[in-house]
Amino acid sequence: MVERDSSVAAVVLLAAGSGTRMKSSTSKLLHPLCGKSLLSWALGAAEGVAPEKLVVVVGHLKEQVEAHLKEVAPHALTAVQETQDGTGHAVRCAMETIEGVTGDIVVTYGDVPMLTGETLRRLVGVHRRAGNAVTVMTSILDNPTGYGRILRSGNDITGIVEERDADDAQKAIKETNSGIYIFDATILRDGLAQLKPDNDQNQLYLTDVVGYAVHNGHKVGAYIETDRWQTEGINDRAQLSAMTAELNRRIVTGWMLEGVTIIDPATTWIEAGVSIDQDVVLWPGTILCGATSIASGAVIGPDTRLTDVEVGAGASVVRSEAILAVIGEDANVGPFSYLRPGTTLGREGKIGAYVETKNAQIGDDAKVPHLTYCGDAVIGAGTNIGAGTIFANYDGTTKSVTTVGRNAFVGSQSVLVAPVHIGDDAFVAAGSALTGDVAEGELAVARGRQRNIAGWVTAFRDRTRGKKAASPAPTQGEGTSTSTDKE
């Protein structure tokens, strides 16, 4: 919960940039990072200061961004920056949307995903305790190349100089501008009104509002953020990859500190929405996505990806993929299984090697051990499905359901042509192609009777590959050499 004294009048989130270096038809802000879009991460940080108004400035590919906002932050207001005329111009567009707002206004960016609400609350606290009109979030960088430098007089900021305009002494300054600010609304509004494009880019810079505040005798201070990742933006896919790795490292470390055993953190990927209980073991190559939850004692991996999957206590999933599935307590999945959406595996159930399931409800202690397609099926507790069984659920037009009762047995290489119902304790003979129901306790045999024809290979060997194998061994003198021949 956000403390009341951390709330602000508004947050302006700048999300209008073209993002050309991403080289993508998708808005840069919609690219995913650990399970959430860049914009979603930025919105989460903004909500950390409980703004009365949240304004997102859109521009490039605005239709994509606006559609995404309706999904993740429908309460957000949007302001359109039709032309990319600088950060000052973007904030001016936002202020027109919230005309008349008074109080503190935070300005941040849609492409700074590791910024947290906690950090913004600290920024607000520093701003208010110091009585600043403007507070700039800054970073100390060993290599500040490319960043605007902070000019100071004691604890007060006297200006911000862009690198292209800095002299050698200013370029040696290591304190840099993050571009994240908190302004008194009146100072911000007045400063924006004074902006002019007096620079080689012919744009309106928000940094000039800082200069306006200093020039008019208002106090400008700084909040130094020591975690440089929180002020880093993303401009291309290489930076996105680097930040994904860093955020994943933090997520993985956090779970280890919560009591999860992760054998190889470098090859384990966990998205932000995942929930894991204590005493879970994750083997190398594990990828956990979406809203996946894993209960205590479960063992996942190696080489497994789960997306929106619920895994019960003590379950095991090995070298498999599952999507929108439920795996019960002490159940076993894999290796090389594929659980598609709608799969539910009961307590102590088994889905084994090279099995694909879809919309399948598999009861407690039921087993689909290997080499089976199980789609649109309901399988009762204690039932065993033999190797190579196919649940033929699609007739070319309609998908239908097959139900198998409790403690039933389906022999290997059977085909169950839906819709059929197999009763409790029923048996289906191996190799059957079943098109009708089987009542409780019955044995179903749906295959041709075996017929062996003696001497057939010999009689027809000229037409078969078995000719050589079936031919009698040649006698002496019929194409064979003898010791007499050699003498």
Residues 215 and 206: their CA atoms lie apart, in Å, by 15
**Per annotation, catalytic residue among 68, 89, 127, 370:** 370
Structure tokens at 340: 């598609």
Q: What amino acid occupies position 114?
A: M
Structure tokens at 207: 């940094």
Strand-pairing partners, residue 12, are: 55, 107
Q: Is 370 a catalytic residue?
A: yes
Torsion sign over Cα 314, 316, 322, 325: negative
Structure tokens at 206: 């928000």
Residues 324 and 347: their CA atoms lie apart, in Å, by 17
Residue recorded with tokens 């009708």:
436
Q: Using alpha carbons, list the distances in angstroms from residue 465 to 67, 361, 409, 473, 475.
A: 65, 46, 38, 16, 22
Q: Are 160 and 144 in contact (CB under 8 A)?
A: no
Torsion sign over Cα 109, 235, 36, 139: negative
Residues 295 and 211: their CA atoms lie apart, in Å, by 55
Active-site residues: which are they?
A: 370
